[in-house]
C-alpha cells in the first residue's frame, strides 16, 4: 500500500476492518466533504428563482424516498410498488395534526422536526405491517401485495372525511430560531433542512451496510435459503427492510408536506410509486449514490421532455396529442433502455469514471 | 478629420436619443399574466380548447390594440393536471411579475390557495368548485359554482316533476370535484327542496353501466343528476339507450331523465354518445354557438380569425377560456381608466368593484359578470339546454337557483 494515501491507485485492504471503512481513501473523504460544502454554499453565492429552488427541493425529497426504496428493493431485493403510499403516510401523519389542531398550531409550526420524525416512525410501522406478507411471498406476488397497499391507501384517503377525502390539507408556515420562515425564505430554508436530512440518512445507510444487519439484507437478497442456513432470519430481515424503507419514505413525506405546505392525495398515487421505482432503477439499484443520481436524472428528463413538448407544440399543429405521448414515451423508453443496456444504472457510470481516474495513467 | 468624426457622432447621438426615447415612451406597457392548465394529459379535452380561447382573445386584444399601446403577455404553461407542476409554473409566473393568475383544476386551486393569499394575487380558475373560494379573498369563479349548478338542476326537476317527490340518483366523479356539490344539494333538500336522493354513485372507469342502471330502476329512480366529465356520462347514456331506459321527454314515466352540470355537456358529449345524448339536460352559464347571438358570433369569429377548427370553435370550453380573458382585459381597461398603475392590487380592487353599474357583460355568458367581497362567482345565472337532433338548445330563460342563498 502506498505510504501516501493521496496517491493510492486502487484500494488495498490488509484487514477486514479496513474493508469496512466508511471512506476507503482520504481522497474519498475529502471529495465528499467538498461536495457537501459546495451544496451548502452555492445557494449563498448564486441567486436562483423560486421555481428552480422548488425543483431542487423536490429532487432532494425524492432522494430521501429513494434511499429507502433502495434499501428494500436494491439491497434486500424485495420489489415494492407502493412506495408513494409510505411517503403519503408520512405526509398524512403531519396533515393529521393539521386536521386535529389547525394548520397554524404551535405543534405544527414549532415542533416540525418531531413531526417529520414521527412521520418516519409511522411510515416504519406501516412498512413493517406491509412487510409481513413478504415473509411468505416473493417476486411478482410480493409486488401485488405492495400494489394492494397502494390501492388501499388511496382508497382510505379518498373516502375518509378526516383526511378531507383527498383534498389538500393545508400546513402552516414553520418557525425556527430566526422567526417564522417567510415566503421568500421558504424554499432555501427547506433546501438546507432536506440537505441535512439527506446527509444524516445517507451516513446512516452507509453505516448500516457495514453492520451485520446491513449484510443480512444483501445475503437475503442473494439467496435467502443460504442466509437462513447461516443463521439469519430471512422473514424478519424482510420485515425490517420494509420498516426501514417505510421510515425513509415517511420522513420524505413529512418533508414534502412542509415543502408544499399542504397534503393532497394527488401526490401519492401509483404513478408516483412507479416514478420512485424508476428513479431507483435509473440511479442504480443496490448502490448508495444511485439514490442521488436517479431522482436527479428522472426529474431532469421530465423538465427536458416538457421543454421539448412545448417546442414541438410551437411548430406542429398536432402537438396536443404528440406532447401527451412524449412524457410516458420518454419515461418508459428510458427505463427499458436502462434495464437493457445499463441495469446497474447511472451509478455504474460513476463507478467507471472513478475507476478510470483512480487508475490513471494505467489502463488496468 | 478626427474632429469631424466626433461632430458627426455627436449629431447622430443628438438625433437618435430623443427618437428612441420617444419610441420607448410610446411603446406602452406590457401586462403580464399567467395561465397553468392541462393542455395535455387528464382532462386536456377541456383544457385544450380553454387554452385556445384564452390565447386567441389576448391575441385579439393585442392585434386590435384594444388596450391602446399597452399589450397583454399571457404565459400559458401545460401542467398535465399535476399539482406539483402547477406550483412550479406559478412560481415561474411570479418571477415574471404577473398581475393576475388564471388557474385550472380544483386540486391545484385548493393546493395553492395559501400561496395566492400570501402573494395577494387575484386568481380565476377553470374549476367552479365552491370550496375554492372558502377562506380566501383572492379566488374568483368565472361562473356559478358546481353546487349552484347541481342545486339548479334539482330545482328544475322539483319544479317540473308531476307526481309527488321526484326520486333522483347522483352520478358523480370520485374526487373533491365530484363530491363537493352533493352536500349542498342535501342541504337544499333539508331546506325544503322536494327531492329524494335514492343513491349517490361515484363512478369508476366502467365500460358498462348496465348493472348500475338496473339497480337505479329497481329503486324507482326517475332522474339522474350527473356531475363529472363527459366520457363516463356518454358511457352511461349509451348503456341506458341500449337498454331502452332513456326518457324521450323530461320526466317520462318508467324511464330515466339524465341531467348534468357544466363539464358533463357540450358538443363533446354529443360526439361521444351520439344519438344516446338526445334529451340530455345540461346546465351552464355559457352560450352555445348553434344559437345565433352576438356572443356566439364573436366566439366563432375569434376562432376563425386564428384558424381554429370547428371542434374548438364550437366548444363551450373555448367560450370558457375566452370569457376569463374578456374579464381580465376589462379589469385592465378599468384599472387604466382609474388613472393609476395596473398592478395586482388594482386588478383585485377592480374585480371586487365589478358589480351593480360596473357589472360586465362579455356576451359569451347568459348573464352579467358580477363580483364583490361577498360574491365570488362571476355569472350567477344558469341556462338549461336540452339535446335535440344532436345539438344543445336552450330551454326556458336563464335562471338563478333560489336555494343557493337559503343554504349559505
The residues spanned by each domain of chain B are: 30-144+290-375, 147-284+385-406
Distances (CA, A) of B188 to B84, B131, B310, B402: 36, 17, 39, 10
Inter-chain CB proximity B40 and A320 less than 8 Å: yes
In this prediction the pTM is: 0.86
For the stretch B53-77, pLDDT in tens is 999 999 999 999 999 999 999 999 8
Mutate: best of B35, B38, B88, partner A, most A CBs <10 A? B88
* Residue A143 or A19, more confident: A143
pLDDT in the model for residue B170: 97
Q: pLDDT above 70 covers what percent of chain A?
A: 92
**Model confidence at B282: pLDDT above 90:** yes
CB contact under 8 A, A54 and B91: yes
Mean pLDDT of A259-264: 94
Q: Residues of B with CB below 8 A from A55's CB?
A: 88
CB within 8 Å: B83 and A55: no
Q: How many CA atoms lie within 13 A of B305 on its CB side?
A: 17
Instruction: Evaluate whether A61 touches A275 at the Cβ level (below 8 Å).
Output: no
Whole-number mean pLDDT of chain B? 91
Q: A310 to chain B nearest CA, in Å?
A: 8
Confirm if A294 and A302 have CB atoms less than 8 A apart: no
* Mutation target among B78, B93, B118, B129 for the A interface, most CBs of A within 10 A: B78
Question: How do strand A169-170 and strand A262-263 relate by DSSP bridges?
Answer: antiparallel
Question: How many whole angstroms separate alpha carbon A120 and alpha carbon A129?
Answer: 14
Q: What is the pLDDT of residues A146-192, one digit of tens each?
A: 999 999 999 999 989 899 988 899 999 999 988 899 998 999 999 99
Give the one of A51, A264, A306 whose C-beta lies nearest to B91's C-beta: A51
CB contact at 8 A, B124 and B103: yes
Q: What is the mean pLDDT of chain A?
A: 88
A310 interfacial to chain B (CB closer than 8 Å): yes
Name the nearest CA neighbour of A257 among A130, A118, A137.
Answer: A118
Whether pLDDT at A200 is above 80 = yes
Contacts of B120 in chain A (CB under 8 A): none
pLDDT given for residue B163 in this prediction: 84
**Side-chain half-sphere of B198: how many Cα atoms within 13 Å?**
18
A201-252 pLDDT, tens digit per residue, is 999 999 999 898 999 999 999 998 999 999 999 899 999 999 999 999 999 9
Q: Which residues in chain B have their CB less than 8 angstroms from residue A327's CB?
A: 40-41, 80
Residue A10 banded pLDDT, cuts 50, 70, 90? low
- Say whether B114 and A260 touch across the interface (CB within 8 A): no
Average pLDDT score over residue span A297-314: 82
Q: B89 contacts in A (CB within 8 Å)?
A: 51
Q: What is the pLDDT of residue B25?
A: 44
Whether the CB of A323 is below 8 Å from some CB of chain B: the reply is yes
Q: Is A168 on the interface with B (CB under 8 A)?
A: yes
Q: Kindly report the nearest CA distance between residue A168 and chain B, in angstroms.
A: 5
Instruction: Provide mean pLDDT across the span A338-362.
Output: 82
Tens digits of residue pLDDT in B218-230:
999 999 999 999 9
CA distance B53 to B329: 13
Answer yes or no: do A183 and B84 touch at CB < 8 A: no
**Residue B344 clears pLDDT 70, i.e. is over it:** yes
- A49 touches B at CB < 8 Å: yes
Q: Which long-range contacts (CB under 8 A, 24 or more apart) does B58-67 make?
A: B58/B33, B58/B325, B58/B329, B59/B306, B60/B302, B60/B305, B60/B306, B61/B325, B61/B329, B66/B329, B66/B333, B67/B28, B67/B31, B67/B329, B67/B332, B67/B333, B67/B336
**Tens of pLDDT, residues A223-233:** 989 999 999 99
Across B371-389, average pLDDT: 95
Confidence of residue B81 (pLDDT cuts 50, 70, 90): confident
Q: Does A167 touch chain B (CB under 8 A)?
A: yes
CATH superfamily of B30-144+290-375: Response regulator (3.40.50.2300)
Burial A306-317 (b: 16+ CB within 10 A, else e): beebeeebeeee
Q: What is the mean pLDDT of residues B231-237?
A: 95
Q: Which long-range contacts (CB under 8 A, 24 or more apart) does A336-342 make?
A: A338/A281, A338/A282, A339/A281
Assess contact for B333 and B68: CB atoms under 8 A.
no
User: Torsions phi, psi of A264, nearest 5?
Assistant: -140, 150
Helix axes B294-305, B316-337, angle to 10 degrees: 100
Q: Which domains are assigned to chain A?
A: 46-359 (1.10.3470)
Given a contact cutoff of 8 angstroms between Cβ atoms, the answer to whether B158 and B124 are in contact is: no
Q: How far is A167 from chain B (nearest CA, A)?
A: 6
Sign of the four-CA dihedral B152, B154, B157, B159: negative
Per-residue pLDDT reduced to its tens digit, A29-38: 888 899 999 9
Across the interface, which of B115, B118, B175 has its CB nearest the CB of A166?
A: B175
Among candidate residues B91, B120, B122, B85, the one with its CA nearest the CA of residue B105: B85
CATH architecture for segment(s) B147-284+385-406: 3-Layer(aba) Sandwich (3.40)
Amino acid at each position: 500500500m502506498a505510504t501516501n494515501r493521496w496517491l493510492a491507485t486502487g484500494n488495498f485492504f490488509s484487514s477486514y476492518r479496513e474493508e469496512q471503512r466508511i471512506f476507503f481513501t482520504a481522497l474519498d473523504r475529502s471529495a465528499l466533504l467538498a461536495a457537501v460544502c459546495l451544496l451548502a454554499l452555492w445557494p449563498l453565492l448564486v441567486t436562483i428563482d423560486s421555481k428552480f429552488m422548488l425543483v431542487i427541493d423536490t429532487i432532494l425529497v425524492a432522494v430521501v424516498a429513494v434511499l429507502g426504496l433502495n434499501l428494500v428493493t436494491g439491497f434486500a431485493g424485495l420489489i415494492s410498488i407502493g412506495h408513494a403510499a409510505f411517503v403519503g403516510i408520512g405526509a398524512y401523519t403531519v396533515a393529521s395534526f393539521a386536521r386535529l389542531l389547525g394548520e397554524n398550531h404551535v405543534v405544527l409550526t414549532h415542533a416540525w422536526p418531531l413531526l417529520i420524525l414521527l412521520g418516519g416512525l409511522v411510515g416504519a410501522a406501516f412498512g413493517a405491517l406491509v412487510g409481513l406478507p413478504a415473509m411468505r411471498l416473493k417476486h411478482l406476488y410480493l409486488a401485488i401485495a405492495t400494489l394492494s397497499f397502494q390501492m388501499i391507501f388511496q382508497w382510505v384517503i379518498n373516502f375518509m372525511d378526516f383526511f378531507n377525502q383527498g383534498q389538500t390539507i393545508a400546513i402552516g408556515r414553520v418557525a425556527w430560531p430566526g422567526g417564522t420562515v417567510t415566503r421568500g425564505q421558504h424554499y432555501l430554508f427547506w433546501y438546507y433542512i432536506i440537505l441535512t436530512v439527506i446527509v444524516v440518512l445517507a451516513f446512516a445507510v452507509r453505516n448500516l451496510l457495514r453492520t451485520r444487519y446491513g449484510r443480512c439484507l444483501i445475503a437475503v437478497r442473494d439467496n435467502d435459503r443460504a442466509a437462513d442456513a447461516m443463521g439469519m432470519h430471512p422473514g424478519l430481515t424482510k420485515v425490517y427492510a420494509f420498516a426501514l424503507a417505510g421510515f425513509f419514505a415517511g420522513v420524505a413525506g413529512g418533508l414534502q408536506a412542509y415543502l408544499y405546505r399542504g397534503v393532497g392525495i394527488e401526490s401519492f398515487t401509483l404513478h408516483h410509486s412507479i416514478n420512485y421505482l424508476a428513479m431507483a432503477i435509473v440511479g442504480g439499484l443496490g448502490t448508495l449514490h444511485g439514490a442521488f443520481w436517479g431522482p436527479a436524472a428522472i426529474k431532469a428528463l421530465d423538465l427536458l421532455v416538457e421543454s421539448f413538448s412545448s417546442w414541438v407544440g410551437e411548430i406542429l399543429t398536432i402537438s396536443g396529442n404528440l406532447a401527451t405521448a412524449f412524457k410516458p414515451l420518454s419515461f418508459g423508453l428510458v427505463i427499458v433502455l436502462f434495464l437493457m443496456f445499463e441495469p446497474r444504472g447511472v451509478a455504474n457510470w460513476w463507478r467507471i469514471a472513478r475507476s478510470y481516474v483512480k487508475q490513471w495513467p494505467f489502463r488496468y | 478629420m478626427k474632429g469631424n468624426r466626433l461632430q458627426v457622432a455627436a449629431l447622430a447621438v443628438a438625433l437618435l436619443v430623443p427618437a428612441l426615447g420617444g419610441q420607448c415612451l410610446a411603446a406602452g406597457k406590457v401586462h403580464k399574466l399567467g395561465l397553468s392548465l392541462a393542455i395535455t394529459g387528464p382532462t386536456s379535452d377541456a383544457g385544450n380548447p380553454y387554452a385556445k380561447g384564452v390565447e386567441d382573445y389576448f391575441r385579439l386584444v393585442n392585434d386590435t390594440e384594444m388596450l391602446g399601446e399597452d399589450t397583454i403577455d399571457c404565459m400559458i404553461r401545460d401542467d398535465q393536471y399535476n399539482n406539483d407542476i402547477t406550483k412550479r409554473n406559478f412560481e415561474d409566473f411570479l418571477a415574471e411579475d404577473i398581475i393576475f393568475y388564471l388557474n385550472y383544476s380544483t386540486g391545484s386551486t385548493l393546493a395553492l390557495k395559501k400561496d395566492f393569499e400570501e402573494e395577494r394575487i387575484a386568481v380565476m380558475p377553470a374549476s367552479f368548485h365552491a370550496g375554492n373560494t372558502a377562506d380566501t379573498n383572492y379566488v374568483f369563479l368565472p361562473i356559478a359554482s358546481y353546487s349552484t349548478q347541481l342545486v339548479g338542476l334539482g330545482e328544475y326537476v322539483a319544479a317540473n316533476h308531476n307526481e309527488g317527490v321526484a326520486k333522483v340518483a347522483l352520478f358523480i366523479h370520485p374526487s373533491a370535484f365530484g363530491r363537493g356539490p352533493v352536500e349542498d344539494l342535501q342541504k337544499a333538500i333539508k331546506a325544503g327542496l322536494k327531492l329524494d336522493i335514492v343513491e349517490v354513485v361515484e363512478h369508476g372507469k366502467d365500460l358498462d353501466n348496465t348493472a348500475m342502471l338496473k339497480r337505479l330502476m329497481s329503486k324507482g329512480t326517475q332522474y339522474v343528476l350527473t356531475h363529472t366529465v363527459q366520457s363516463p356520462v356518454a358511457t352511461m347514456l349509451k348503456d341506458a339507450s341500449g337498454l331502452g331506459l332513456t326518457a324521450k321527454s323530461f320526466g317520462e314515466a318508467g324511464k330515466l331523465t339524465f341531467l348534468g352540470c357544466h363539464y358533463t355537456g357540450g358538443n363533446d358529449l354529443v360526439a361521444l354518445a351520439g344519438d344516446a345524448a338526445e334529451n340530455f339536460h345540461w346546465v351552464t352559464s355559457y352560450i352555445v354557438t348553434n344559437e345565433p347571438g352576438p356572443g356566439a358570433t364573436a366566439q366563432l369569429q375569434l376562432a376563425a380569425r386564428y384558424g381554429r377548427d370547428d371542434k374548438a370553435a364550437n366548444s363551450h370550453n373555448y367560450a370558457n377560456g375566452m370569457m376569463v380573458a374578456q374579464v381580465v382585459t376589462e379589469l385592465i381597461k378599468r384599472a387604466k381608466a382609474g388613472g393609476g398603475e395596473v398592478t395586482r392590487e388594482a386588478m383585485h380592487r377592480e374585480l371586487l368593484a365589478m358589480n351593480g353599474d360596473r357589472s360586465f357583460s362579455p356576451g359569451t355568458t347568459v348573464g352579467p359578470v358580477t363580483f364583490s367581497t361577498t360574491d365570488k362567482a362571476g355569472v350567477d345565472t344558469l341556462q338549461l339546454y336540452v339535446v335535440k337532433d344532436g345539438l344543445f338548445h336552450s330551454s326556458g330563460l336563464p335562471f338563478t337557483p333560489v336555494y343557493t342563498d337559503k343554504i349559505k
